[in-house]
Amino acid sequence: MIDPFGRAVTYLRVSVTDRCDLRCQYCMAEQMSFLPKRELLTLEELERVCRAFVSKGVRKLRITGGEPLVRKDVMTLFRGLGRMLDDGGLDELTLTSNGTTLAKHAHALADCGVRRINISLDTLDPERFRTVTRRGDSDKVMEGIAAARAAGLKVKINTVAMKDFNEDEFSRMVAWCGERGFDLCFIETMPMGEIGPDRVDQYLPVTSVRDRLGESWTLTETPFRTGGPARYVDVAETGQRIGFITPMTHNFCESCNRVRLTCTGTLYMCLGQEDAADLRAPLRAYPDDDGPLLEAIDAAIARKPKGHDFVIDRTNRPAVSRHMSVTGG
């Protein structure tokens, strides 16, 4: 699949639910209204769409949410998708999780062919964790991380950089990840959905995070990539990597290779644009014929935009109305 700007689309991010057991301040409002279950694609439908994308050239699938592991019977989907790894049509199956229920799923995920997992963790301080998540218990996340390591999964920690909240922990996070053999990725907050707090007060340019870390750690540019938007440096003292995702200070659109499917079958060709394609309609109208579904996918890729229009300003208006949990990041 080649978009209008010559970029090959080889990466599909799939949100299996908009629900989450946390309410992170930069992601959700404290009081959220979630989709009725009848609007969600079934796990069988999600697998069918994924198989259609793999047949069109997608080589990497990332399962997201909300929190994907709160979806009932979600391991059924992972087992189905894992068979595509065995068939050779898929190179990588992975997921992003908040880690709260990972302890009971880590070994099953590894059995399905998952080799890497991204875990969202913005602070190592239990009280701060409860504050930013509005309800979370960091001990459960640590148990999930330990289970992932025991299952042989390679862990990467995702940390949203927030001004006046976790700035004093960045160097500690580098050391903590280095001691455990984890890569670390710092992410800028993005203007998606009404969340309550002023994003101007949250926003911290990741470029300043990198400059600050460079005062304490020896950082060297590396061509290493995982297929996503992060740009990495090697940390000489730990032997690990730090990634930086900068949708605000420097967008990564020129090399965008991904599209995002929501749990309702809506395909977003760009995280920061509202244009979308309905894949649920052909999926359900033609249960025994993938032709219309494949045509809908082709039509969507043909109008993938050049890039997003994210901006942080004092109007506090989100660039797009949907919450991050709807699209899955």
Residue 238, pLDDT score: 97
Report the C-alpha gap between 231 and 222 in whole angstroms: 8
9: annotated binding-site residue?
A: no
188 φ/ψ angles, rounded to the nearest 5 degrees:
-80, 145
Please indicate if the annotation marks 50 as binding a ligand: no
Neighbours of 107 (CB within 10 A): 15
Does 263 count as an annotated binding residue?
Answer: no
259 labeled binding residue: yes
Strands (E), the chain: 11-15, 60-64, 92-97, 116-120, 154-161, 183-188, 219-221, 231-235, 241-245, 258-261, 266-268, 276-278
163 in a known ligand binding site: no
Check whether 327 is labelled as a binding-site residue: no
What pLDDT is attached to residue 325? 53
Q: From CA 259, how far away is CA 239, in angstroms rounded?
A: 32
Annotated binding residue 190 = yes
Residue 49 assigned to a binding site: no
Burial of 11 (0-12, 13-18, 19+ CB in 10 A): buried
Could you give the CA distance from residue 247 to residue 318 in angstroms, rounded to a whole number?
Answer: 14
State yes or no: 66 annotated in a binding site. Answer: yes
Q: 13: annotated binding-site residue?
A: yes
- pLDDT value of position 150: 98
- What is the crossing angle of helices 291-301 and 43-55, to 10°? 60
Which of these CATH numbers, 3.40.50.300, 3.20.20.70, 3.10.450.50, 3.30.1360.200, describes 11-327? Answer: 3.20.20.70
Pair 107, 151: CB distance under 8 Å: yes
Low pLDDT (below 70) residues in the chain: 190-200, 247-252, 308-329
Asked whether residue 120 is marked as a ligand-binding residue, the answer is yes
Q: Is 253 annotated as a binding residue?
A: yes
Which tens digit of pLDDT belongs to each residue from 245-261?
Answer: 886 555 567 778 999 99
What type of residue sits at position 221?
E
60 is in an annotated binding site: no
Residue 24 annotated as binding site? yes
Stated as kind and residue range, the H or E segment containing 294 is helix 291-301
pTM of the shown model? 0.88
Per residue in 131-145, pLDDT tens? 999 999 999 999 999
Asked whether residue 206 is marked as a ligand-binding residue, the answer is: no
Where do the domains of the chain lie? 11-327
